[in-house]
Chain A
């Protein structure tokens, strides 16, 4: 579904992402792990169009999207969440979702839907997502006033609201307690069952090993391993670079 070919991004002399080749297959959950500063978030930012690549190409559903703007990529079906939560804090919860529901229709109908749809007709279309995020009872609260775990859930369903097939989740478990992570695990599985493809960037090893179909490991901007969770865990390069003795410590 998504193919990164020799993708590089350099910041001055720093090679944040260097000659990265990676493929995300339709319908899978691919984990992207690596130590801090290994280039995971830069990869997400390259895929979503926050940064332009220094070199290489990005193929999504057969088309090179490296030249597309960020919002064109959403229209094609790539959505993301942020490592540090970025909601529209002064908008009610349900309007955060409304804002994210991408209108793909063109012409007059599209224009009307995109700009002039009224709140009363739009609200009905957010109910399912609110229910999925377990936020139905908080729909009218301002997003900024939600509890931390709820904000994480809202970010997740806001990404889903775009109608994207590929979801990039940038450390969705950061700051969560065990119970919340368990809950997130279930939600990610539900999304997979609903036909979504997921690229999961995460430090929490238990979650990654449990939920991912495959895992790719980055270090210094380069891929050092790729395979099933057990293959990656047994890989000596990975153990040296990343897991080491810290693997048993909670994130």
Chain B
């Protein structure tokens, strides 16, 4: 049973990561940096619970906040580039983040010996859950409560005017600007909110994995992040959830016997979705003429 709880944890973490990319994609920006924000959240939350014995929730929140702040700072220069150039620029920055953690060594002594990030050896001993006696099920429930909270908050944002602003910018920047939408605030806010969520997901991941290292936050992770909303569609958050469950539950875990061939399938899946359903698997349902909904 623990295997399935573990898998559910992974799906929960990846769903959060997908939500973070969903925000940024709403404004028409393709960011390969969600893995970088995830890393910032992972390292900072992990350091807070191990080196300074913070409880888990504030540590996760601070990790998310830090990632969000970095996202806002990166969001401004990212405004200057669009399309492919933005992909390349965010990819480059993601490498900077990864190499930053590759070189980060900051350890303090604890009853169990030295603890903290140890450069290329990674950052081990993030054992908040086991040392506080949380069962796999409890951790699983905790993660999914977080997913539910983020889901509700984002769903609310999407239904309020913020969602309209983000979507309008994603549809047509010139038209959005011409109706008085401030492109800077729209794009930077999407980056910021996405950054907070990715940081939160990273913090959870660090405590799920107990050992993290720079290679966890490579280009594959960033690809996963944007793949979920691309496969699931931008119309609703359910698509992201389904895509994360499908990719992590079936493609990665269910087809484990295929070994590294799975990456190929993952790539093929994105191509197929782009070809067959370019708006994602879940599309916006079009209301019938005359139907009303608020």
Residues of A within 8 A of B (CB): 48, 50, 69-71, 74-75, 79-80, 82, 86-92, 95, 98-100, 102, 113-120, 122-123, 137-142, 145, 158-159, 161-162
Contacts and interface: CB of A to CB of B under 8 A. Distances in A.
Contact of B179 (A74, A138, A140, A141): A74
B289 interface: yes
Given A74-B180, A80-B178, A116-B162, 16 more contacts: A50-B174, A71-B181, A71-B183, A79-B178, A79-B179, A79-B180, A82-B175, A88-B167, A88-B172, A88-B176, A102-B180, A114-B161, A137-B290, A138-B289, A140-B287, A158-B179
Residue among A71, A79, A82 with the highest chain B CB neighbour number at 10 A: A71
Contacts of B289: 137-138, 140-141
B168 A119 contact: no
B171 to A, nearest CB: 4
B82 interface: no
B166 to A, nearest CB: 10
B286 A145 contact: yes
10 closest A-B pairs by beta carbon, nearest first, are A74-B180, A100-B179, A86-B175, A102-B180, A120-B294, A88-B171, A140-B287, A99-B168, A70-B177, A115-B162
Contacts of B178: 48, 50, 70, 74, 79-80, 82, 86
A247 to B, nearest CB: 32
B51 to A, nearest CB: 37
A87 B175 contact: yes
A75 B101 CA distance: 44
Contacts of A88: 167-168, 171-172, 175-176
Interface in B145-181: 159-162, 164-165, 167-168, 171-172, 174-181
B276 interface: no
A99 B164 contact: yes
B264 interface: no
A137 B292 CA distance: 9
23 contacts: A71-B181, A74-B179, A79-B180, A86-B178, A88-B171, A88-B172, A90-B167, A91-B167, A98-B164, A99-B168, A99-B176, A99-B179, A113-B161, A114-B165, A115-B165, A116-B162, A119-B160, A140-B289, A140-B290, A140-B293, A141-B286, A159-B179, A162-B180
How many residues of B sit at the interface, in one of the four size bands?
Answer: 20 to 34
Interface of B: 159-162, 164-165, 167-168, 171-172, 174-183, 284, 286-287, 289-294
A115 B180 contact: no
Contacts of A74: 178-180
Contacts of B174: 50, 86
Nearest to A87: B175
A241 to B, nearest CB: 30
A99 to B, nearest CB: 4
Nearest to A85: B175
B197 to A, nearest CB: 17
B177 A99 contact: no
A95 B164 contact: yes
Contacts of B294: 119-120, 123
A10 to B, nearest CB: 21
Nearest to B178: A80
A109 to B, nearest CB: 13
B293 A117 contact: no
A48 B176 CA distance: 13
A119 B293 CA distance: 9
B290 A117 contact: no
B161 A115 contact: yes
A138 B174 CA distance: 25
Nearest to B182: A71
Nearest to B181: A71
Contacts of B177: 70-71
A140 B180 contact: no
A99 B292 contact: no
A80 B172 CA distance: 15
Contacts of B293: 140
Given A71-B177, A90-B284, A145-B286, A115 B171 contact: no
Contact of B165 (A50, A86, A99, A123): A99
Nearest to A95: B164
Given A88-B167, A91-B167, A99-B164, A75 B180 contact: yes
A117 B292 CA distance: 19
Nearest to A161: B179
A117 B168 CA distance: 16
Nearest to B158: A119
Contacts of B171: 88-91
B147 to A, nearest CB: 22
A115 B160 contact: yes
A123 B292 CA distance: 11
Contacts of B161: 98-99, 113-117, 122
